[in-house]
Amino acid sequence: MAGHSHFSPANVEEHFEFTSEGKKRVIYAFIAGIVALVLGIYLLSKGEAGGHEVANAGHEAVKAGHEAASEHLSGGAVSHQPAAEEHYDWTNRIWANVWLNAVFFTGIAIIGMFFVSLQYLTKSGWSSVMKRVPEAFPKFLYITLPILLLVFFFKGDAIFHWMHHGVTEVGNENYDKIIAGKSGYLNKTFFLVRLVGFFALWIGLWLVLRKKSLEEDLIGGTDLFTQLVRISTAFIVIFGASSSMFAWDWVMSIDTHWFSTMFGWYMFSSWHVTGLAVITLTILLLKDKGYMAYVNENHLHDLGKLMFAFSIFWTYVWFEQFLLIYYANMPEEIIYFLERWEGHNKIYKTSEILMVFLNFFFPFLVLMTRDAKRTRIFLKIAAFFIIVGHYIDFYQMIMPGVLGGHAGYGLVEFGMVTVFASAFIYIISDELTKASLIAKNHPFLPEAVHHDI
Amino acid sequence: MSSTTNYILGVYDDEDEVLHAVSEVKSKGIKIEDVFTPFPIHGLDRAVGHERTRLPIAAFMFGVLGLTCALSLISYTMVFDWPMIIGGKDFFALPNWIPVSFEGTVLFTAFGLVITFCISNNLYPGNQPDLLDLRITDDKFVMAINVDKNKKVSADDIKKALKDSGAIEVNVK
């Protein structure tokens, strides 16, 4: 087009430098997280030892209540006994936090791959200018996979009700008819096969995509683009199935008796909007450092729209799940929300309200106008609070089932999330240095540079 | 557009040309009333200097109105006028109302916006379109300049500027 400055790929190569200053800062944050964590664990061990008797008395009352309920409602269908109530160990809170963060950050990492794949699958042009940022995210799967496996092997029974000793064994005092009925799917071997198998597929496809994408920088042409579209299609198909299964496995199976057919979408929507917020925030921080000059307010506007839209999508799925259960009011389903709303001395109620505020009302009102989506500071604030809000969302999904009344926000939570976040920043920054920040031979790059809305 | 205003019209036959002509004509201190095209041209509204539409504000207002109406209607009928117990819930069962309130919001926003758009563009049944040049519905691009709003530049200068910027003909209407 006449009048536009002509775009020449030769001058766009741009390398992110992870300075020693930056490295130092991330490592300090990591150490601060570790210190907070250790302090938190120390306080936890003290605090729990002191208040044991009171806690025990509470347990008896809860147990009695449960028994009465299960007698009243046929066949023990509602004897929803969170893992925590029976043999609570104060270290469970640490493992619950590890699991929570591992699941949360796995989500962010894999959404990077999902975002890139979706752009290839739809042959979108606008995003090619920034695709190297989400493309680096799945590197963090290397960290979360061993952590998930570690927790599963050593402390799985602290997290999953279905892993308790004897729950599927007829005649055992822990025998649970409902869980035994689910043991065809929820057993250690099959769980492990799914976890490792899907991780292998995710990482494998990411490695191929990354390799082809870097090759494109050297060779160019459209052959590689077609191959990348094919890889992305394969990934989307696999991710469609695996994201749902992981939602059942990693989060829904904590409350083993309870189930929701919407849970897969619900967790995916939470992961997705968090991932979009992290992508946006990373791009904005890179821009602040003077990188990614080709990403202008038009691209940011699109990212803002995605965050806005998927915040509403999350609300839709979350509310839909709630509404159906609330309306039907079936004891075995409603217990999930009762537990979060008025159970355990209402310790989850504030989080639940705060979460809906941060994940719906806040982004909805802040990102509504066009100007807000084109202004960096608004996007930054919205993205930050979306991430915080969805951390709380995951907290609400995992903690009540694992810890029951023993959960809380303390140094352990703060330390653990700092450790994971700084590790994530370190790994992703390191991965970003390995390739040009702009995919200079992407066939749609000129289109992206002239993106104008 | 009333017939008492005087317009000078530059007719162009290429979209790129008209886009460049806009900035050229503007650089001579001439105010452009509007540019008429058979199809949308990317970046033209910004080149002409049109203010952004205020329709989104109207959309928000209609949305709030729709939400208020929906919630008022439901709460009046279900809580105050004839309280009914449905599904064992409270009279004031807000979660039950959310889907309907959402629909009300969307309905008011959609209809309100279409009506606002039609009114602000004089689109109503029986209205005869007041075209400055019939060919803008076919293959020509017309730049309209309001003479009364360009007191500082003489009509002849405007005509010359239009010709210089690539207009294939210049008409007065």
Residue A366 has pLDDT above 90, yes or no: yes
Which neighbouring-strand residues pair with A120? none
Answer yes or no: is pLDDT of A62 > 60: no
- Flag whether residue A173 sits within 8 Å of chain B, measured between CB atoms: no
* pLDDT for A73 beyond 70: no
Residue A54 lies in a domain: no
Distance, CA of A62 to CA of A65 (rounded, Å): 5
**B96 vs A contacts (CB less than 8 Å):** 323, 327
> Do residues B21 and B67 both lie within one domain?
no
Q: Per the structure block, which two tokens stand in for A34?
A: 């570790």
CB contact under 8 A, A322 and B95: yes
Task: Name the amino acid, one letter, at B37.
Answer: T
Which residues numbered 9-48 in B keep a CB inside 8 Å of some CB on A?
A: 16, 19-20, 42-43
The verdict on a CB contact (< 8 Å) between A323 and B42 is: no
The Cβ of residue A29 has, within 10 Å, a number of other Cβ atoms equal to 17
Q: Do A323 and B98 touch (CB under 8 A)?
A: yes
The reply to whether residue B95 touches residue A1, judged by beta carbons under 8 angstroms, is no
Q: How many CB atoms lie within 10 A of CB A157?
A: 16
Residue A179 lies in a domain: yes
Average pLDDT, chain B: 89
What is the predicted pLDDT for the residue at A2?
A: 40
Q: Is the CB of A409 inside 8 Å of chain B's CB atoms?
A: no
Place of tokens 């060779």: A219
> What CA–CA distance (Å, rounded) separates B6 from B158?
13
**Helix crossing, A263-288 with A223-246: angle to 10°?**
130
- B16, B95, B99 ranked by CB distance to A326: nearest: B95
Give the tens place of pLDDT for each residue, B7-40. 899 999 888 899 999 999 988 888 898 899 999 9
**Shared-domain flag, residues B75 and B113:** yes
Chain B neighbors of A364, CB-CB under 8 A: none
| pLDDT tens sequence across B108-167 | 999 999 999 999 888 888 888 778 888 888 899 999 998 888 888 888 888 888 888 888
Residue A383 near residue A414, CB atoms below 8 Å: no
Of the candidates A265, A277, A317, A453, the one whose C-alpha atom is nearest the C-alpha of residue A374 is A453
Tell me how many domains chain B contains: 2
Cα of B151 to nearest chain A Cα, Å:
31
Hey, is A10 helix, strand or coil? helix
The pLDDT tens digits for A373-391 are: 999 999 999 999 999 999 9
Average pLDDT over residues A67-89: 47
Share of chain B above pLDDT 90, in %: 40
Contact A425, A39 (CB under 8 A): no
Most B-contacting residue of A316, A322, A326, A450 (CB-CB within 10 A), to test interface:
A326
- The answer to whether residue B152 neighbours chain A at the CB level (below 8 Å) is no
Please state the domain count of chain A.
Answer: 1
pLDDT of residue A288: 93
Q: What is the largest CA-CA distance in chain B?
A: 80
Residue A8 forms contact with B (CB below 8 Å): no
B59 and B45, same structural domain? Answer: no
Chain A CA closest to residue B95: A323
What residues form DSSP beta bridges with B35? B143
Instruction: Name, in order, each residue with C-beta under 8 angstroms of A93's C-beta and a sequence gap of 6 or more.
Output: A44, A403, A406, A407, A412
> Looking at residue A215, what is its pLDDT?
92
A325 with A263: CB under 8 angstroms?
A: no
Band of pLDDT at residue A171, cut at 50, 70 and 90: confident
Residues A217 and A191: their CA atoms lie apart, in Å, by: 39
CATH number at residue B160: 3.30.70
Extract the tokens encoding A24: 């130092």
Smallest Cβ distance to B87: which of A2, A329, A368? Answer: A329
Task: For residues B73 and B99, state if they share a domain.
Answer: yes
Is the separation of the CB atoms in A323 and A333 below 8 Å?
Answer: no
Yes or no: say if A391 and A413 are a contact pair by the CB < 8 Å rule.
Answer: no
Confirm or reject contact between A326 and chain B (CB < 8 A): yes
As beta bridge partners, residue B145 has B8
Question: In the prediction, which pLDDT does A109 show?
Answer: 96
Q: Which of A318, A301, A283 is nearest to A397 (CA)?
A: A318
| pLDDT tens digits, one per residue of A414-446 | 999 999 999 999 999 999 999 999 988 899 998
Contacts of A370 in chain B (CB under 8 A): 52, 56
> Average pLDDT, stretch A272-300?
94
Helix (H, G, I), strand (E, B) or coil at A158: helix
Q: Assess A360–B contact: CB distance below 8 Å, yes or no.
A: no
Residue B95 C-alpha, separation from nearest chain A C-alpha, in angstroms: 7
Per-residue confidence band for A167, with pLDDT thresholds at 50, 70 and 90: confident
- Whether residue A69 is contained in a domain is answered as no
pLDDT of the residue at B4: 61
B19, B42, B96 ranked by CB distance to A327: nearest? B96
> Residue B85 is part of which domain span?
55-120
Q: Which residue of A has its CA nearest to B45?
A: A453
The domain in which residue A168 lies consists of: 21-46+81-436
pLDDT score of A289 more than 50: yes
pLDDT at residue A77, rounded to an integer = 40
In this prediction, residue A67 has a pLDDT band, given cuts at 50, 70 and 90, of: very low
Question: In chain A, whose CA is at the least distance from the CA of B97?
Answer: A323
In a domain, B163, yes or no: yes
Which residue from A2, A319, A327 is facing B87, i.e. has the nearest CB?
A327
pLDDT tens figures, B74-99? 999 999 999 988 888 888 889 999 99
Quickly state the pLDDT bin for A58 (edges 50, 70, 90): very low
CA distance B158 to B160: 5
pLDDT of residue A11: 60
Mean pLDDT across chain A:
87
- Residue A16 maps to a domain: no
Backbone angles phi, psi at A118, to 5 degrees: -65, -40
At A218-273, the pLDDT tens digits run 888 889 999 999 999 999 999 999 999 999 999 999 999 999 999 999 999 999 99
Write down the ipTM of this complex: 0.84
pLDDT band at A86 (very low <50, low <70, confident <90, very high): low
Residue B82 belongs to a domain: yes
Q: What is the DSSP letter of A445?
A: H
pLDDT of residue B157: 87
Higher pLDDT, A166 or A115: A115
| CA–CA min distance A65, chain B (Å) | 23
For residue B2, being part of any structural domain is answered with: no
- Put simply, whether B98 touches A (Cβ < 8 Å) is yes
Are A99 and A73 in contact by the 8 Å Cβ rule? The answer is no
Rounded to whole angstroms, the Cα distance separating A419 from A238 reads 30
